[in-house]
Structure 1
Amino acid sequence: MRSTCPDTLYIGRYYCPELCLGFVASAGLESATQAGHVTNAESLLLFLSSSIENYAYSSLPFVTDTWWAVEAESSDDENLNCKENDFMSVIDKIMEKIINLDDLYNAYTSNYVTKRASKTQGVAMLTLFTKSFADNNSKTKMKDLVIEKFKLRVRKEISYGHLPICFGLVTKCLGISLERTQHLYLFLFARSILSAAVRLNIIGPYYSQRLLTECQAYVEKSLEKTCKLNSKEAVQTSPLLDILQGRHDKLYSRLFNS
């Protein structure tokens, strides 16, 4: 059973850059570079620290609430032997909470570019789970079935499938603890920015690994402030970052989608 596997097994798999779409999303770094806000390693560090803090305050609370939405209604084993009506009732309750969080995040996110990137990455998370981690007997596994139903809604364009919601849902279904889920979410975000910085030729690959180690302090500091926030407390801490992300489609030439 998945719950008996170490968290680090799944975390190690998620560390692969392509799983977080680090090669197509720059979180506004490309726009910031062309606008002259990021020109060297020093300004990159400032951009990185501001982005991590903004992401922790604006996005992480939705990951947390989604994780708890699944936790509050189910457990790994308790609901496997319940009556079919009760089984579907629990699934419906989970789905309702997830859908509401997805709608709230879409309304909360102010610019189209960020919404588009979030939906693309969210779909990638759901696809990753169903193709790589879902059990063969998913029809009898509550959490697998929840993901299948939500993925179907996203495919039909009934739901948005934003990354924070999909990330919280998938990590909970994999049995990853909330603390590691939160840390992983911010760490992968930081790494995607550094990956983009290398591709934009702001820094080299070796120096990016050094910065990745240093940015752990930014991640930990942001987690201390935001790990207990819920979605109703989510805020934007850097309006400039939001503006830079929103103007990405207006760039004359661009390497990334966001």
Structure 2
Amino acid sequence: MKYARLLHLVDSSIPTGSFAYSYGLESSITFGLVKNLFGLRNYLYSYLQQVVSMELPFINSCMKLEAPDLQEPLRIIAEEYDAMMLVPTIYKASVVQGKNWLKLLESFYPEAGLGALAVWFTTQQLPLHFVLVFALCLKRAGFELKEVQTMYLHMALRDQVSAAIRLGFIGPMEGHKLQHDFYSIFENLLEGQSEKTHHEAIRSAFLLDSAQLFHEDIYSKLFQN
């Protein structure tokens, strides 16, 4: 039953708003950073490398928090993550998805007391960033660290492949074959990163950061950023 619930949470139809964003893929294609399937593969690998070097350490730290010592360590984690969100449109997307995720998980797991998280973040005047809320909610819902790491990496890959398909850059068959191929390197991506904490979080895909920054300068029908 637990794994059925996990599969439900990573379903593409879950209404968190992630499909409203391309996280820099659309601008990368527009600016010529991604020109063909080979370039898309390289882009996806760089994107996932940044996920495991930047976002997974914060997920790890949130999952390791214990309730009696929650408030001060979480405040530090939340402030540091907020400071590392450098691109305004990505920042906005993170907060929108964080609020949606918390609302959704609160309805799924009313016994987990997830409403207290929203109250705490509001009291501390801290934004509900998706990465932090994602981990904190799943911890309270009873999921383990390795499950949450794999879930997040899957969702990051899924959303990028979906964006490439909806942009017409690749077809659905080709896109899902590409997604399937990338699962084979998940363990390689996680190796050496799965135990790192927020103190060790780094941004590694600087061209992607630049593409995200200039997304607002392109005309887009499909994505907000």
Question: Which TM-score applies when normalising by structure 1?
Answer: 0.81
Q: What is aligned with 1:11?
A: 6
Q: What is aligned with 1:115?
A: 91
Q: What is aligned with 1:56?
A: 52
Query: C-alpha distance in 2, partners of 1:248/1:150?
Result: 32
Q: What is aligned with 1:86?
A: none
Shift in Å at residue 155 of structure 1?
A: 6.1
Answer yes or no: is the 8 Å Cα contact 2:165–2:171 preserved in 1: yes
Cα displacement string for residues 220-242 of structure 1 (whole angstroms, at most 9, x for unaligned residues): 21111310111010001111111
Query: C-alpha distance in 1, partners of 2:108/2:83?
Result: 31
Query: C-alpha distance in 2, partners of 1:11/1:95?
Result: 27
Answer yes or no: is the 8 Å Cα contact 1:52–1:219 preserved in 2: no
Q: What is aligned with 1:84?
A: none
Answer yes or no: is the 8 Å Cα contact 1:126–1:166 preserved in 2: yes
Give 5+ residue unaligned stretches, structure 2. Answer: none
Aligned partner letter, 2:182: C
Cα displacement string for residues 99-157 of structure 1 (whole angstroms, at most 9, x for unaligned residues): 3212110102222122111111211210111122222xxxxxxxx33x21222355689
% identical aligned pairs: 25
Answer yes or no: is the 8 Å Cα contact 1:56–1:226 preserved in 2: yes
Aligned positions of 1:31-110 closer than 5 A:
31-69=27-65, 72-73=66-67, 90=68, 93-110=69-86
Question: Which TM-score applies when normalising by structure 2?
Answer: 0.92
Q: What SS does the aligned partner of 1:225 have?
A: coil
Aligned residues: 224
Check if 1:171 corresponds to 2:166.
Answer: no
| The one of 184, 189, 192 aligned to 2:156 | 189
Check if 1:251 corresponds to 2:218.
Answer: yes
Once superposed, what is the RMSD of the aligned Cα atoms? 1.8
Answer yes or no: is the 8 Å Cα contact 2:18–2:97 preserved in 1: no
Q: What is aligned with 2:116?
A: 149
| The one of 170, 173, 188 aligned to 1:203 | 170
Query: C-alpha distance in 2, partners of 1:67/1:159?
Result: 18
Cα displacement string for residues 174-205 of structure 1 (whole angstroms, at most 9, x for unaligned residues): 21110111111111100000011111001111
Instruction: Tell me: CA distance 1:155–1:254, structure 2 relative to 1, closer, same or farther (3 Å).
Output: farther
